[in-house]
Amino acid sequence: MKRFDDIRTIFVDLDDTIWDFTANSKVALKAVYERYQLDNQCSYDVFIKEYLLINEQLWSLYHHGKIEKDFLKRERFRASFERCGIICESPERFDYDYLETIVTLKNVVAGAPKLLQHLKKRGSVNVLSNGFANLQFRKLQSAGLDRYIDLMVLSDDIGVTKPDKRLFDYALEKAKANAETTLMIGDNYDADILGAYNAGWKTIFFNRRGESIGNNVADLVVQSLEEIIPYL
């Protein structure tokens, strides 16, 4: 008997679970960096190394409600430019141009369309994301993934982020679902897996980066999306 036979409602994370944020971000950043001719002040390779560290730290704080979205968007480039000795008149404008570029990109995580098409046979397939409301659906559309999604629930909807249990409870309410028959698939162990686990959901951890997890609570751990299909 398959482990997830009772699942009727499925939520997937968007960024780096089905839509390849890592790949798309690098393409968008390089394009905007060159457009602003900032490589005259600091090489792109040095900048991207600093930016990725700062951005990861800020997103972790945002996940846990310690900073606001506007601060994250403003600070990630301001701090990166400062660290690299870059003078940029408007980090806010740079951020805007970066986001407007990234939403047009189409790279998806390997196996995402095949998995989503398979999941549609099981019940409703929905997105649960901490990403910004004005961007997430545009990403799905650009990549052609919107056809598979029934409902999108975003942290912006209620002002709390994964792993906060309130967002998972809100998602159940919107989907008219029960925790016992709901599954979360995501690549962020803290936000997606622990959050869903604490809300009483089943979980599949898409460990695409090969992270070492100590006290693992996920019902299933995979390193590729296609590994999920036989279980559902």
- Whether residue 118 is predicted with pLDDT greater than 90 in this model: the reply is yes
Residues 120, 104, 167, 114: what is their CA dihedral angle, to the nearest 10 degrees? Answer: 20
The residue-averaged pLDDT of 32-44 equals 96
Token pair of 171, please?
């998602």
Output the pTM of the full model.
0.93
Query: Of the candidates 98, 164, 169, 84, which has an alpha carbon nearest to the alpha carbon of residue 135?
Result: 98
Determine what percent of the chain is predicted with pLDDT higher than 90.
Answer: 89
Classify domain 9-19+108-231 at the CATH class level: alpha beta
Of 101, 83, 94, give the one whose Cα is nearest residue 36. 94
| % of the chain at pLDDT higher than 70 | 99
Q: Residues near 227 by Cβ (< 8 Å), separated by ≥ 6?
A: none
What's the mean pLDDT in 146-169? 96
Q: pLDDT per residue over 119-148, tens digit each?
A: 998 889 999 999 988 999 999 999 999 999
Q: Residue 2's pLDDT is what?
A: 59
> In the sheet that 202-206 helps form, which strands lie side by side, from edge to edge?
151-154, 124-129, 9-12, 182-186, 202-206, 220-222
Q: For residue 209, what are the CA distances in angstroms to 46, 47, 133, 194, 222?
A: 22, 22, 26, 17, 10
What DSSP letter does each residue of 95-113 carry, written as one string? HHHHHHHHTT---B-TTHH
User: Which pLDDT band holds residue 1 (cuts at 50, 70, 90)?
Assistant: very low
Cα–Cα distance measured from residue 10 to residue 181, given in angstroms and rounded to the nearest whole number: 9
Q: Who has greater pLDDT, 51 or 214?
A: 51
pLDDT at residue 163 above 90? yes
Distance CA 69, CA 75 (A): 10
Helices (H), 67-154: 69-84, 91-102, 112-119, 133-143
Q: If you average pLDDT over every residue of the chain, what do you get?
A: 95
Tens-place pLDDT, residues 59-96: 999 988 899 988 998 899 999 999 999 999 999 999 99
What would the CATH number be for the domain defined by 22-102?
1.10.150.240
Can you give the pLDDT at residue 63? 86
Q: Where are the domains of the chain?
A: 9-19+108-231, 22-102
Give the C-alpha separation, 71 to 69, whole Å: 5
The model's pLDDT over 27-37, given as tens digits with 9 standing for 90+, comes to: 999 999 999 99
Give the Cα separation of 116 and 174 in Å (integer).
20
